[in-house]
C-alpha cells in the first residue's frame, strides 16, 4: 500500500521559514511551492501541458464545484480528477467549506483571505441576495445549501466532504471547516473555531475508514493476482493525506488555541484558513506555525500576492494556493518586477517590448505588450491564455527563487530587493 505523503526539511531559516521536499504518490513537490488552482479540474484557458511547462508542481481542484458538476461519482469512474484532466503530477482538493461559507454567511458580499479592517473585501461572488435569500445554513452537524446552478438542495457534513474528496482521488485534501467572515464578532469566531475542531475529529475518523477500505481493496487485488488492475493509475487505491484546517480569525488567542488542538490530532499536514488583516498577516501565520508540528507540511489557503507570499514563507508556510494570478491574467492585470500593469491602458498599444523583460515565460519570450494589448482590446481568446501563462509563471518562478534563497541563505536580500522594486 502506497503511503500518503512524507515531508523532509532540507534547510531552515533563522526564524520559521524552511525549504523541504514533500513526497506524494504522484511525485515530489519542492517546497515552498505555489499550488496552481484548477477549480473544475481545469486551469482556465490553459492545457495541462501548458501548466506543467510553467513549472507548476501540483494542482488543486474544488470539491464544491466538482461535486455539483460533473459529480464526484463521474470523476471517480474516470480515475480521479488528475487522470480526468490529464494531469500526471501531485493533486489536492479543498473541503468545499469556503465555497459553502461564501454562499451562506457572506452571501452577497465579496470574500477573500486578506483585507484591511474597514475596506471592501475582494474575491469571487456567485450571486447577490438579502438575508432571506442566502443559499446556505450552517448547523452543528454540517451545512445545508442550495446549488447556485439550479437551486437544488444539498447537504455537506464532515463525513460527506471526506467521501466526495476520496471519490475525487487527490493525493492530499482538507478537513471540513467553517470559514468565518472577517467581520464576525469574537464570540462567533470562537463558536466557529470550536465547531471546526469537532468537525476535524469527524473528518479524520471518516478519512481513516476510507483509507482502510482502500488498503483492503489493494490487498484483495494483490491476492487475486489482478496485476493489470494494480498497474493502472486509475485503479491503484493509494492512500490520501488529510490536512487539518486552523481557524480563529484575526485573534491571537484563538489562532494559537486552534493550532494546539489540531496539532495534537496527528493530521498528515495542516492548512491555515480563514481571513487575516493584510497588515499583519505574517504575524498571524507566525503565531500558528510556531505551534504546529514542525515535521508536517503547512498550507496557507487562498494567498497569491507577492508580498503576502514572502510573509508566508518566512513565517513557516510550505504551500499556498490562489486563483488571483490566473484570474488577473485573464482580465489584463499583469505582474511585472516593477509592479502590476493594466495592459488595457492606452499607453501599451505601442510598447513593442515584453510584458516583463526579465520573465522567462512563453508569453514574454514571444509576444510584446502591444500585441497582448491588441488581443485584450479585441476580446480575443488568446488574450486570457497569454495573460494567465505570464502571471502564473511569474508567481511560480518567484516562489522558486524563494526556495533557492533559503538554501543559499539570501532570503532577506531577495525579499528586500524584490519588494523595493515591485512596490516602488
Q: What residues are labeled active site?
A: 94, 321
Contact present, 105 and 138 (Cβ < 8 Å): yes
Q: Which three cell numbers stand for residue 225?
A: 493476482
128 CB-contact burial (10 Å; exposed 0-12 / middle 13-18 / buried 19+):
exposed
Q: By three-state DSSP, how is residue 333 classified? A: strand
Question: In terms of residues, how long is the chain?
Answer: 424
Alpha-carbon radius of gyration of the chain: 21
**Rounded Cα distance, 263 and 292, in Å:** 5
Question: Which residue from 267, 260, 309 is spatially nearest to 289, judged by alpha carbons?
Answer: 260
* C-alpha neighbours within 13 Å on the C-beta side of residue 144: 6
Q: Exposed e or buried b for every residue in 272-287, given b needs 16+ CB within 10 A?
A: bbbbbebeebbebbbb
Contact present, 355 and 388 (Cβ < 8 Å): no
Interior angle at CA 44, CA 61 and CA 60, nearest 5: 15
Q: By three-state DSSP, how is residue 84 classified? A: helix
In the beta sheet, which residues pair with residue 334?
341
Which residues lie below 8 Å from residue 82, measured CB to CB, with a gap of 6+?
Answer: 26, 59, 88, 89, 91, 169, 170
In the beta sheet, which residues pair with residue 29?
22
Contact present, 124 and 111 (Cβ < 8 Å): yes
Contact present, 75 and 169 (Cβ < 8 Å): yes
253: enclosing H helix or E strand: helix 252-263
DSSP one-letter string for 339-376: EEEETTSGGGGG--S-SSTT--SHHHHH--HHHHHHHH
DSSP one-letter string for 189-242: HHHHHHHHHHHHHHHHHHHHHHHHHHHHHHHHHHHTT-HHHHH-TTT-----EE
Q: By three-state DSSP, how is residue 96 classified? A: coil
Amino acid at each position: 500500500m502506497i503511503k500518503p505523503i512524507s515531508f523532509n526539511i532540507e534547510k531552515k531559516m533563522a526564524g520559521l521559514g524552511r525549504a523541504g521536499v514533500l513526497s506524494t504518490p504522484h511525485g515530489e513537490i519542492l517546497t515552498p511551492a505555489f499550488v496552481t488552482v484548477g477549480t473544475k479540474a481545469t486551469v482556465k484557458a490553459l492545457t495541462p501541458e501548458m501548466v506543467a511547462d510553467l513549472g507548476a508542481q501540483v494542482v488543486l481542484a474544488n470539491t464544491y464545484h466538482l461535486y455539483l458538476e460533473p459529480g464526484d461519482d463521474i470523476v471517480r469512474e474516470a480515475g480521479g480528477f488528475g487522470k480526468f484532466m490529464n494531469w500526471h503530477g501531485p493533486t489536492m482538493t479543498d473541503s468545499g467549506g469556503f465555497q459553502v461559507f461564501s454562499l451562506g454567511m457572506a452571501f452577497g458580499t465579496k470574500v477573500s483571505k486578506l483585507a484591511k479592517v474597514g475596506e471592501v473585501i475582494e474575491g469571487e461572488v456567485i450571486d447577490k441576495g438579502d438575508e432571506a435569500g442566502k443559499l446556505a445554513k450552517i448547523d452543528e452537524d454540517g451545512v445545508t445549501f442550495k446549488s447556485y446552478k439550479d437551486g437544488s438542495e444539498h447537504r455537506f457534513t464532515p463525513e460527506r466532504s471526506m467521501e466526495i474528496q476520496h471519490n475525487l482521488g487527490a493525493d492530499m485534501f482538507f478537513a471540513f471547516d467553517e470559514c468565518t467572515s472577517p467581520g464576525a464578532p469574537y464570540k462567533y469566531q470562537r463558536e466557529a473555531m470550536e465547531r471546526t475542531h469537532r468537525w476535524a475529529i469527524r473528518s479524520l475518523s471518516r478519512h481513516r475508514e476510507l483509507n482502510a477500505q482502500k488498503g483492503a481493496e489493494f490487498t484483495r487485488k494483490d491476492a487475486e493476482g489482478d496485476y493489470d488492475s494494480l498497474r493502472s493509475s486509475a485503479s491503484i487505491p493509494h492512500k490520501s493525506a488529510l490536512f487539518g484546517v486552523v481557524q480563529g480569525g484575526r485573534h491571537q488567542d484563538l489562532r494559537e488555541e486552534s493550532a494546539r488542538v489540531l496539532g495534537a490530532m496527528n493530521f498528515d499536514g495542516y492548512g491555515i484558513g480563514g481571513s487575516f488583516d493584510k497588515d499583519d498577516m505574517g504575524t498571524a501565520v507566525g503565531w500558528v506555525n510556531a505551534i504546529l508540528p514542525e515535521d508536517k507540511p503547512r498550507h496557507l489557503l487562498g494567498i497569491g500576492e507577492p508580498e503576502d507570499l514572502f510573509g508566508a514563507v518566512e513565517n513557516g508556510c510550505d504551500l499556498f494556493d490562489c486563483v488571483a494570478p490566473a484570474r488577473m491574467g485573464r482580465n489584463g492585470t499583469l505582474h511585472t518586477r516593477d509592479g502590476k500593469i493594466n495592459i488595457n491602458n492606452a499607453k501599451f498599444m505601442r510598447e513593442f517590448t515584453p510584458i516583463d523583460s526579465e520573465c522567462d515565460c512563453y508569453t514574454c519570450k514571444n509576444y510584446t505588450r502591444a500585441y497582448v494589448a491588441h488581443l485584450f482590446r479585441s476580446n480575443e481568446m488568446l488574450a486570457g491564455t497569454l495573460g494567465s501563462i505570464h502571471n502564473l509563471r511569474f508567481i511560480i518562478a518567484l516562489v522558486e527563487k524563494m526556495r533557492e534563497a533559503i538554501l543559499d541563505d539570501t532570503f532577506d536580500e531577495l525579499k528586500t530587493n524584490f519588494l523595493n522594486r515591485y512596490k516602488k
